[in-house]
Structure 1
């Protein structure tokens, strides 16, 4: 998922966040902040007189603002998480559950129903019944539903941001930015409902007309990543719905509730019953049942390369094939040339490596630097990395990784690289002050062999490596020297280098003087080699994923007019 793709650019000035409070005027009049405080105090006095309980206000720390901590009557994050099937929450047919723990402090925040093949079959039954009626609705009308969903996302930004933060531990500004980017995509797909074009073509045969139309697939399976649970689901579900399909989503077991909250939002936006469902559970039990069901006409998956290859293999062995859309990992380079703005390059390198704790497929995990500026860039980059605020509070930049297992895997990977000769420049440890949360210090290494597993395998954590190269040709060779090809960036003031990098670096996205990430609702996103299988989401290109082209040939006889 790249979005995991959408998120704030380096520095707080780029993040979606409330305006700063105005200061009281010097002429004796109160500013906006003082007026709001006065109103709150007046309302509090009135509530106390009426016997209403007031929420406690505690000082801000680096710990997240979590809905599970809210003392209000209803909690946004439930203690029990169920499937979302047929416009309602439903427990697993077998009654089994598993724990959902908070990455922020390792607390068990919910029990999640553990689905089985029977639950998947039920969701597909419901989707199959609902798909035909939904497909017959004109595309602009389907777009209207997405437009209302986008409006609800904006209206519920705070609530949904809290859900995303409870599930992922992201810093607050990143969590609400994910909600905003999801709303942007809904609005974009709404507008595409009025541009649901086909083509009209000529024919060499007299009295014949030819045209193409977009046809829905039927039931689509959307298998979710954990790193951007709301943006990830919006990327798949919005274009699928616009194309007239029903969707069965498989929540990631580490971020289970976002897909249910999304279902409630779609229901409130007017989506007909049964068109969207979400099932909970583990990949081998629920995900593979979804992939194997021959009523599923498309499987869209964002995640690891091994799982993506297994999905493609499983679909190929079905009696009835299905379309498979894979958005997989990345080992993305950021090249710093000897004519680059080193301050800007260091800022973008740190953002690429450490935003969302490096848990994004577009993370910048390889920093390839010309020898002439290597030492200066290293100093600038390490200085900026040392200033990264680790935590989940409103001003923090690097949150926790998703699970204790991920944290232990990352620490072991860094330790192994050091034992093989790498030099640790920063980080490489858990943040003890934030224990038992799953926080890892931003980590930078050098002297890592290009063939080392740390250079070749996606880590999905706040770890990046520095590589020294003699010049442009070596930089291109190193940039292309992995099995991945998702994104890449180059920092240079030379337009010829820019054009050569665009032409010679093999990837789905190239950034010039920017970070390795970056996508918008109108932009196609995807990769080559082991980063994907040729499809792109979102943008109008996503419509080609979630529909089939149907060619219509009409023969007529002028004599019968």
Structure 2
């Protein structure tokens, strides 16, 4: 449905299965606390309780993993789920629902619904029978969901995993070949249509030209298409393709320079293919520097020193992921401490969440919750405190 290359789609299936195995094992670890009480003959403990009905609203870019990240922890916690897939990728959810039914899941526990946000998503989150809304998608939609739920007669928990404008910092002691490989992968896997895409590459002045040449050389070798050996697939729609072309043209009009790509690939028409694009000479305050483009477009920035690299990394309203390439342990620890994000990668790409790892962001990238990992249990459960008076005379 997304057109992503076969190996990327297969990896999504594998990661979804891994998450199922991991979350299944968490069902036997619903740990609570037992606490002393200052009152004699009284005991206090905490237990996890299911929420009830959870609404899961997914984006188009990872239609299988997007459901798995929400469905499996919700089921382990004892909830029913109503899942609305993106209107551009509806069939994956239907196939997923059939698989769950064939696996023996009782009818009505997992419900896949289809439609636009206005027609289906709105009524779903407005329904007071829904006790949790878990949404992955854009910042404007996430804010609208939070406001809509806050205006309901009965509140609900809202879990938001929103966009990213993720930096990859290349220090002057980095392995430039490795950094270029990870920068290209971060920018162009899934055609850049992932919240963890590396769309800002911050490079120390001393190695800027050498790194730029290495990255452009590697980007030129990216295989574009949907075949078994391809790396970068199409964007999701003609509207996305036109939006990206307009963003690139606007940046160029404001002084940016296209190092590679910057155009659609007519030879692959009617698919919505944009050549992997690298821009330089982009103002850090420019729209393409600040807004999530959700496409195979990344920008290079110069940093005179480490503090400037940190400032550039933190210069957007997002805080989802980030990476730094250096072998200096002080720089590594400083980046971990000072870069505001939910995930930090050292000498790797800007992505890399696993089923056992909490994933989410700060600032406009999320509202504090994490999926998956054991932390997902806190999303899909409510904590209940139980106070037991063992002496009936004290009740």
Structure 2 length-normalised TM? 0.99
Aligned residues: 394
Residue in structure 1 matching 2:239, options 405, 411, 421: 405
For structure 1, list consecutive stretches of 5 or more residues without a partner in the other structure: 1-166
Residue in structure 1 matching 2:114, options 277, 280, 289: 280
Partner of 1:388: 222
Matches within 5 A, 1:437-516: 437-516=271-350
2: CA distance between counterparts of 1:359 and 1:557?
61
Partner of 2:204: 370
1: CA distance between counterparts of 2:118 and 2:324?
39
2: CA distance between counterparts of 1:522 and 1:205?
39
Report the alpha carbon displacement of residue 465 of structure 1 after superposing the two structures with TM. Answer: 0.2
1: CA distance between counterparts of 2:367 and 2:85?
22
* 2:109 equivalent to 1:264: no
Partner of 2:374: 540
* 2:32 equivalent to 1:185: no
1: CA distance between counterparts of 2:188 and 2:392?
68
Report the alpha carbon displacement of residue 394 of structure 1 after superposing the two structures with TM. Answer: 0.3
2: CA distance between counterparts of 1:363 and 1:558?
60
Residue in structure 1 matching 2:124, options 284, 287, 290: 290
Matches within 5 A, 1:216-231: 216-231=50-65
Contact 1:199/1:213, CA 8 A, preserved across alignment: yes
* 2:216 equivalent to 1:414: no
Partner of 1:31: none
Report the alpha carbon displacement of residue 237 of structure 1 after superposing the two structures with TM. Answer: 0.5
Partner of 2:75: 241
Report the alpha carbon displacement of residue 557 of structure 1 after superposing the two structures with TM. Answer: 1.6
Cα displacement string for residues 18-54 of structure 1 (whole angstroms, at most 9, x for unaligned residues): xxxxxxxxxxxxxxxxxxxxxxxxxxxxxxxxxxxxx
1: CA distance between counterparts of 2:330 and 2:266?
47
Q: Secondary structure at the match of 1:484?
A: coil
Partner of 1:424: 258
Partner of 1:351: 185
Q: Secondary structure at the match of 2:231?
A: coil
Report the alpha carbon displacement of residue 402 of structure 1 after superposing the two structures with TM. Answer: 0.5
Cα displacement string for residues 109-133 of structure 1 (whole angstroms, at most 9, x for unaligned residues): xxxxxxxxxxxxxxxxxxxxxxxxx
Q: Structure 1 residue runs of 4+, over 4 Å off? A: none
2: CA distance between counterparts of 1:556 and 1:194?
28
2: CA distance between counterparts of 1:512 and 1:286?
41
For structure 2, list consecutive stretches of 5 or more residues without a partner in the other structure: none
Report the alpha carbon displacement of residue 558 of structure 1 after superposing the two structures with TM. Answer: 8.3
* 2:355 equivalent to 1:526: no
Partner of 1:321: 155
Contact 1:335/1:489, CA 8 A, preserved across alignment: yes
Report the alpha carbon displacement of residue 432 of structure 1 after superposing the two structures with TM. Answer: 1.0
Structure 1 length-normalised TM? 0.70
Report the alpha carbon displacement of residue 559 of structure 1 after superposing the two structures with TM. Answer: 8.6
Q: CA RMSD in A?
A: 1.0
Residue in structure 2 matching 1:195, options 29, 38, 55: 29
Report the alpha carbon displacement of residue 400 of structure 1 after superposing the two structures with TM. Answer: 0.3
Cα displacement string for residues 322-350 of structure 1 (whole angstroms, at most 9, x for unaligned residues): 00000000000000000000000000000
Q: Secondary structure at the match of 1:185?
A: helix
**Which protein, 1 or 2, shows the higher relative CO under an 8 Å CA cutoff with sep ≥ 6?**
2
Matches within 5 A, 1:16-415: 167-415=1-249
Report the alpha carbon displacement of residue 201 of structure 1 after superposing the two structures with TM. Answer: 1.0
2: CA distance between counterparts of 1:336 and 1:427?
22
2: CA distance between counterparts of 1:261 and 1:543?
25
Q: Secondary structure at the match of 2:28?
A: helix
2: CA distance between counterparts of 1:312 and 1:339?
44
Contact 1:207/1:558, CA 8 A, preserved across alignment: no
Report the alpha carbon displacement of residue 270 of structure 1 after superposing the two structures with TM. Answer: 1.3
Cα displacement string for residues 413-466 of structure 1 (whole angstroms, at most 9, x for unaligned residues): 001100010011100100111011001100000000000000000000000000
Cα displacement string for residues 328-386 of structure 1 (whole angstroms, at most 9, x for unaligned residues): 00000000000000000000000000000000000000000000000000000000000
